[in-house]
Chains A and B, each alone.
Chain A
Amino acid sequence: MKEVTASGATVEEAIQSALQQLNIPREKAEVEIIDEGKKGFLGIFGSVRAVVKVREKVDHIELGKQFLTDVARNMGVDITVEVEKEDNIVKYNLTGEKIALLIGRRGKTLNALQYLTHLVINKETDQYYSVIVDAEGYRKRREETLIELAQKMAKKAVRVKRKISLEPMPAYERKIIHTALQDTPNVSTYSTGDEPNRYIVIKPKDIK
């Protein structure tokens, strides 16, 4: 992290001097005033110079974008990353050729990228960000597939009068299924097993 301590006749002058040394604009700086300084008598006697410490602000969201771009490039994929931020949710949309390589089977690679990006942007920060990494609308398509699967399996469970276990899924994919079936009157859903092999069971309501 870049940081300098600078002094000046006034606080403002000290800040300007520090910004010049760091070569960054004011909005990228975090300023800590160490000594406000004193003008002194008639501006001559007993004056004390102002001292400030200026640090370059780390843009954590930008850090995440850089991380994804670097990793993709090293995987041999050139991507464009578009960032959307809403409250504490940061969403990275990846587009580019060979994007399938970044998604992987059932989103496995994309989920790994999402998890690591989450760690990268939440490292050394008081603020907590929730991270979504998406690639060319994959999350939306997957959600539709999961809802369809949920409805199909719920019907099947009722028809065969047996519990049906789905394959293991990450937490937010299970949530999509729980939500999709919560208003379906004749089945209930629950999760069982330990992460990362936790899976959903769909149970017809009239059996134990």
Chain B
Amino acid sequence: MLIRSLVKPLVDHPEDIQVERREEGNKIVYHLLVNEDDIGKVIGKNGRVANAIRTIVYSANSDETKRVYLDIM
């Protein structure tokens, strides 16, 4: 939900946002999929947008035993 609320206002095709969550041992991995036209918008120049999204997603993780990862594709 958090990832969706971060990404939705940035893209032109909010209906194409997909977020998948997988737990692998002590890792939580989120896969974010957006419309092809929107990839640039969620990554940004030098990955600046992606980094800002990651910073917020990581800081919201309250489970200290698990590490969160965010893949954007």
Contact = CB atoms under 8 A, between A and B. Distances in A.
Interface of A: 63, 67, 70-71, 73-76, 101, 104, 108-109, 111-113, 115-116, 119-120, 123, 195-196
Given A123-B9, A195-B46, A113 B56 contact: yes
A74 B8 CA distance: 13
Given A112-B52, A112-B53, 17 more contacts: A71-B5, A71-B56, A74-B5, A75-B59, A76-B60, A101-B59, A108-B59, A109-B55, A111-B52, A112-B55, A113-B52, A115-B49, A115-B52, A116-B6, A116-B10, A120-B10, A196-B51
Contacts of B49: 115-116, 119
A76 B10 CA distance: 21
Given A74-B60, A76-B62, A123 B10 contact: yes
A97 B15 CA distance: 33
Q: Is the interface of A mostly helix, strand, loop or mixed?
A: helix
Given A108-B55, A109-B59, A119 B5 contact: no
A67 B46 contact: no
A63 B48 CA distance: 21
A71 B8 CA distance: 11
Contacts of B60: 74-76, 101
A196 B49 CA distance: 12
Given A71-B2, A75-B2, A109 B9 contact: no
Contacts of B5: 67, 70-71, 73-74
- Which of A70, A74, A101, A112 has most B Cβ within 10 Å? A112
A74 B59 contact: no
A70 B1 CA distance: 10
Contacts of B51: 112, 196
A109 B61 CA distance: 12
A109 B5 CA distance: 16
Nearest to B60: A75
B33 to A, nearest CB: 19
Nearest 7 pairs of A and B residues by beta carbon:
A74-B2, A112-B52, A112-B55, A75-B60, A70-B5, A120-B9, A109-B59
